[in-house]
Structure 1
């Protein structure tokens, strides 16, 4: 085999479609566009979702729902989670290592759900008013 003898396999190369080049090509006159109508004309297409002037589906349906893009950076931890964790000092890194919050979490808040009997010191983590009261009653602190 030589470089000058290499050629593609039979049927691998197909001549491109040359429209509007006479009757003999099979794509002369209307150039494969059929007769009349919007799609036969130059520039004759409509935007996505267009329904011929009828009110399109995306406008007939009511607007509903919204999901904030910043939700993935916020996380919640319960008092029960802190109890199970069993650490004296808790910060964002501790929670991430324990798998209680996601890796993307930047803002964490402790919510009042469950019981807490151990002393826990929170560093750089927020807490709801109820959760703060429970933490401080157990001898802990929120900073």
Structure 2
């Protein structure tokens, strides 16, 4: 159940990124930038809490702080790694024209983020479907 909120957040973020990645030099702000950013914001609001909760779920109370620290460390490392990949993708695109170059590079980075989000969503779906849910003591039938 924890994964469902995170997967919903990732899906909303991915839809917003797909929409936003279609920018070009003449993209209207309201329909092609503001609306996708609302979807991205909603998705980012839904995803972190369930992911953090699932990272510390089932951990002994004495180890909860260490588990939380590990979850946040992995989050930071993943963010830095993703940013470096997307920056490299953006740097590899060039049109030779100033403003068009910026739009093309931004589009490439946003398209790369869609791919990374799709991979995260596929991993989440795999974990949800393949890894069996743990039964908590209060959920066990007597």
TM-score by length of 2: 0.22
User: Which structure: larger Rg?
Assistant: 1
TM-score by length of 1: 0.22
Higher relative contact order (CA closer than 8 Å, sequence separation 6+) = 2
Indicate the structure with greater strand content: 1
Indicate the structure with greater helix content: 2
